[in-house]
Copies of this chain bind each other. A is one copy, B any other.
Amino acid sequence: MEIDRIVRVDMTTGEITEEPAPERLRYLGGRALGATLLLEETDPTIHPLHRDARLYICPGFLGGTAVTTSGRTSFVFKSPLTGGVKEANVGGQLGHRLARLGIKALVISGASRSGWQRLDIDQHGVRLAPAPELAGRSNYDLHRQLVGEAVGARAAATIGPAGEHRMAAASVAVTDPEGRPTRHAARGGPGAVMGAKGLKAIVVDDTGAPRTIPGLRKDDFRQHVTRFSKLVLEDPRTHNLSTVGTAGVVRFVNRDNIQSMPTRNHRFGTWDRAHTISGQYIEELGATRGGKMLPCMAGCIIKCAILFNDEHGNHVTTALEFETIALLGSNLEIGPADAVAELDRLCDDIGLDTIEIGNAIGVAMEAGVLPWGDWEGTKRLLEEVRAGTPLGRIIGNGTVHTAATFGIDRVPAVKGQGLPAWEPRTLKGMGITYATSPQGADHTAGMVTARGVNAETLVKQSRHEQLVMMAIDSAGVCQFTNALPADLAAFASTRFDIPCDDEVILRMARAAIDAEREFNRRAGFTRADDRLPRWLREEPLYLPDGPAVFDIPDTLIDAVWA
């Protein structure tokens, strides 16, 4: 089997073609590969749901190897939410399986003319087939049928009803190691793009493929794998993540001097009931209900996924993450954890980005559509999204859309994408990243949580972290490994037997960011898009040492990529 193939599926004609990745793309993967292909192949002014728009599904350049967490997958596309380039990054079992089958990029173009289709990929090839029986079905049901008992060899990537409705907040659900659809390529609407193509499910079975792809310099590669795992395991941050997941940060960020727990549509940064949605609270509940910490993909040694059961010990969700807790919890004044877990499951089932939906519902609550804290109402609203009612379609199209619908001008979004929990008024480096990332408001685009340093330093940190995250997302590893460019360089040089160091990695990352920015430029983005909404500069959060607004000057923001 040819390794490192680009597989193209034309949904209009049903034609499937394969080509070996050309030399210039050979060492790219994940987000960088997707960005490069998108810029080369897709008209930047196209409507994101047009049949000629394309969806690039790319494992990282370490996908399929034994490097811990290296099975992450990048979904790259022109976003119906932002109108620019988007990478939605997802864990789960998909990436390793695609990579082991030698697939470096799966490119979906065209649009089905004969109803919903499924794509099956295994060692015998790639096959497209009508799948009318999958229409209208939600993710838990779908993954049970498409993966089920075969979870050891199979992974699916599916859209739920939200993707079928082509909603801008629609995700693609990827199978977790227990066969459930709890990992989501969520941000920016990949589910809508897949839905517009008429593709309901991709099922990948790597039976017969090598269990892991070895490095060309086998022994050196293996040494780096071992050394890296050791580093990760010894990192105290790993210990925290392994114990309470990302939910562990709730009690830190809810403090008066950070106020990064969005509450009441980001009006406040602390919530007096935050303890009921904290990692510690969830950990205590789990102790009596069979809760546990799981890896989101085979081979992950961090295991930050919280398996959350209800009081009867029945599974509710395996993805109760900080962003979900914040946006569907405190931001809507909904708690305790049980309530948020149920909302999370609904979002996973319907196929929705929890960050986008939490922001959209926050805006709807601000508009008076339902009261703050109305958990039952929020569940009903999510069911309207599933059903595709007018109100459901409003919410399902995200934050900006919901705000426009209800005439709300205080919109928590950058480049059309809803704000993550990390608060740009107190953690100003996050604001710089939100403003300048080609991805819009995206906390994973470059975390800068330093406080008490000057703006120039934050600008430098944001730029550096954005480059590092591009490298990490291109390797296909998890950001929680805290991999450094030098780590990735060691893997690249021994996997491909090429000269590589941290500077090469950072140059690759810069070229890929430049490709994303160039795509956005051609799509019509300007510096006016590299701005946070005005209310973040006008409405203070009140910290013990005084009011805080986002006050990084535009000139410094424009210096990030200058």
**Interface centre among A43, A45, A528, by most B CB within 10 Å?**
A528
Give A168 to B80 CA distance when docked, in angstroms. Answer: 20
* Closest residue on chain B to residue A364 by CB atoms: B390
**Interface centre among A167, A391, A409, by most B CB within 10 Å?**
A409
Binds B, one of A99-107, A336-344, A519-527, A544-552: A519-527
A166 at the B interface (CB under 8 A): yes
* Closest residue on chain B to residue A192 by CB atoms: B407
Check if B407 sits within 8 Å of A49, measured CB to CB.
Answer: yes
A529 at the B interface (CB under 8 A): yes
* Given A45-B528, A50-B534: A404 touches B401 (CB 8 Å cut-off): yes
Interface set, chain A 31-46, CB cutoff 8 A to B: 43-46
**Binary contact readout A209-224 vs B (1 if CB under 8 angstroms, 0 otherwise):** 0000000000000000
Check if B47 sits within 8 Å of A533, measured CB to CB.
Answer: yes
* Closest residue on chain B to residue A369 by CB atoms: B390
Specify which chain B residues have a CB less than 8 angstroms from the CB of A393 in the assembled complex.
Answer: 394, 405-406
* Closest residue on chain B to residue A52 by CB atoms: B534
Specify which chain B residues have a CB less than 8 angstroms from the CB of A44 in the assembled complex.
Answer: 528
Give A531 to B533 CA distance when docked, in angstroms. Answer: 27
Interface set, chain A 364-421, CB cutoff 8 A to B: 389-391, 393-394, 397, 401, 404-409, 411
Give A142 to B48 CA distance when docked, in angstroms. Answer: 43
A82 to B: closest C-beta gap in Å: 13
A389 to B: closest C-beta gap in Å: 8
A196 at the B interface (CB under 8 A): yes
A517 to B: closest C-beta gap in Å: 13
Specify which chain B residues have a CB less than 8 angstroms from the CB of A80 in the assembled complex.
Answer: 404
* Closest residue on chain B to residue A392 by CB atoms: B390
* Given A524-B526, A529-B524: A168 touches B404 (CB 8 Å cut-off): yes
Give A46 to B525 CA distance when docked, in angstroms. Answer: 16
Check if B533 sits within 8 Å of A524, measured CB to CB.
Answer: no
A165 at the B interface (CB under 8 A): yes
Give A391 to B48 CA distance when docked, in angstroms. Answer: 23
Please tell me which one of the listed residues B43, B196, B534 contacts residue A46 in the complex, with CB atoms under 8 A apart.
Answer: B534
A195 at the B interface (CB under 8 A): yes
* Closest residue on chain B to residue A83 by CB atoms: B528
Specify which chain B residues have a CB less than 8 angstroms from the CB of A389 in the assembled complex.
Answer: 390
* Closest residue on chain B to residue A526 by CB atoms: B524
Please tell me which one of the listed residues B404, B407, B525, B534 contacts residue A195 in the complex, with CB atoms under 8 A apart.
Answer: B407
Specify which chain B residues have a CB less than 8 angstroms from the CB of A534 in the assembled complex.
Answer: 43, 45-47, 50
* Closest residue on chain B to residue A81 by CB atoms: B404
Please tell me which one of the listed residues B47, B407, B522, B531 contacts residue A409 in the complex, with CB atoms under 8 A apart.
Answer: B47
Check if B409 sits within 8 Å of A404, measured CB to CB.
Answer: no
**Interface centre among A47, A411, A529, by most B CB within 10 Å?**
A47
Check if A407 sits within 8 Å of B196, measured CB to CB.
Answer: yes
Give A80 to B437 CA distance when docked, in angstroms. Answer: 25
Check if B45 sits within 8 Å of A166, measured CB to CB.
Answer: no
* Closest residue on chain B to residue A195 by CB atoms: B407
**Binary contact readout A529-543 vs B (1 if CB under 8 angstroms, 0 otherwise):** 101011000000000
* Given A523-B528, A528-B44: A397 touches B391 (CB 8 Å cut-off): no
Give A531 to B44 CA distance when docked, in angstroms. Answer: 12
Interface set, chain A 468-520, CB cutoff 8 A to B: none
**Binary contact readout A193-232 vs B (1 if CB under 8 angstroms, 0 otherwise):** 0011000000000000000000000000000000000000
* Given A401-B401, A534-B47: A196 touches B409 (CB 8 Å cut-off): yes
Specify which chain B residues have a CB less than 8 angstroms from the CB of A48 in the assembled complex.
Answer: 409
**Interface centre among A80, A167, A405, by most B CB within 10 Å?**
A405
Please tell me which one of the listed residues B46, B390, B405, B411 contacts residue A47 in the complex, with CB atoms under 8 A apart.
Answer: B411
Please tell me which one of the listed residues B394, B404, B521, B528 contacts residue A522 in the complex, with CB atoms under 8 A apart.
Answer: B528
Specify which chain B residues have a CB less than 8 angstroms from the CB of A401 in the assembled complex.
Answer: 401, 404-405
A384 to B: closest C-beta gap in Å: 9
* Closest residue on chain B to residue A531 by CB atoms: B45
Check if A167 sits within 8 Å of B407, measured CB to CB.
Answer: yes
* Closest residue on chain B to residue A533 by CB atoms: B47
Interface set, chain A 3-47, CB cutoff 8 A to B: 43-47
Measured CB to CB, the residues of A under 8 A from B are 43-50, 80, 165-168, 192, 195-196, 389-391, 393-394, 397, 401, 404-409, 411, 521-529, 531, 533-534
Which are the 9 A-B pairs with shortest beta-carbon distances? A166-B407, A524-B528, A49-B409, A390-B391, A47-B409, A390-B390, A524-B526, A393-B405, A50-B409
